[in-house]
């Protein structure tokens, strides 16, 4: 879709960072001046926000056109960011490089059978004790358009709990009629393996 339309016309583009990310920065869930990764960064709105707030801002996206747009916007704003073309299932970052990660809209685009692979990869790049913020379009969104895989809260926790401890989850009602509803979750990367069931 980046090849067919200007990024500003794409339905997921926003010139403003997502509300949950702003809150995570404002209340210290993301530690100041640390390395933070935006997964599926698109044209870079969240990466630019993080850089403006003095984080070492990183982004990854499958689309070279999206990364070119993010780089151009960063140059125009005179911000230093690290954005790379890459697959969310094999990210071009070192193990434990990130203190935190944000995903606004990547997870729910993945094939259902690859969700566990994604969770393991996020856990690889986020250091133990690090923060992870995930927002996704939930099953409650029944419109024809939008992501094909709209996981329930149960599906998300089942995939991510082996690597992350859920601190808080909440439902995000649609901000306007016809918009998507979904969920957000704050997690911490486990510092030890998840205990076995009893």
For all residues of the chain together, what is the average pLDDT? Answer: 92
Q: In percent, how much of the chain has pLDDT > 70? A: 94
pLDDT top residue among 5 and 61: 61
Residue 8 banded pLDDT, cuts 50, 70, 90: low
Give the mean pLDDT of 30-51. Answer: 97
Local structure of 69: helix, strand or coil:
helix
Residue 10 banded pLDDT, cuts 50, 70, 90: low
How far is 120 from 87, CA to CA, in rounded Å? Answer: 13
pTM given for the model: 0.93
How far is 46 from 137, CA to CA, in rounded Å? Answer: 18
Residue 9 banded pLDDT, cuts 50, 70, 90: low
Note the pLDDT of residue 114.
96
Q: In percent, how much of the chain has pLDDT > 90? A: 78
Note the pLDDT of residue 146.
79
**Burial class of residue 64, CB neighbours in 10 A (0-12, 13-18, 19+):** exposed
Give the mean pLDDT of 24-51. Answer: 97
pLDDT top residue among 10 and 119: 119
């Amino acid at each position: 879709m980046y090849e067919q339309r200007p990024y500003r016309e794409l339905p997921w583009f926003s010139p403003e960072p997502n509300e949950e990310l702003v809150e995570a920065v404002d209340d210290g869930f993301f530690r100041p001046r640390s390395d933070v990764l935006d997964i599926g960064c698109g044209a870079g709105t969240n990466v630019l926000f993080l850089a403006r707030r003095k984080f070492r801002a990183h982004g990854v996206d499958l689309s070279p056109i999206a990364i070119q747009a993010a780089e151009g916007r960063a140059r125009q704003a005179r911000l230093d960011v690290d954005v790379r073309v890459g697959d969310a299932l094999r990210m071009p970052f070192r193990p434990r490089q990130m203190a935190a990660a944000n995903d606004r809209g990547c997870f729910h685009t993945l094939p259902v059978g690859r969700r566990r692979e994604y969770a393991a990869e996020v856990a690889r790049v986020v250091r133990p004790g690090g923060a992870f913020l995930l927002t996704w379009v939930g099953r409650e969104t029944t419109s024809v358009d939008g992501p094909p895989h709209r996981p329930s809260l149960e599906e998300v926790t089942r995939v991510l709990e082996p690597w992350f401890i859920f601190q808080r989850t909440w439902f995000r009602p649609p901000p306007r009629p016809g918009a998507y509803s979904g969920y957000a979750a704050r997690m911490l990367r486990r510092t030890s393996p998840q205990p076995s069931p009893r």
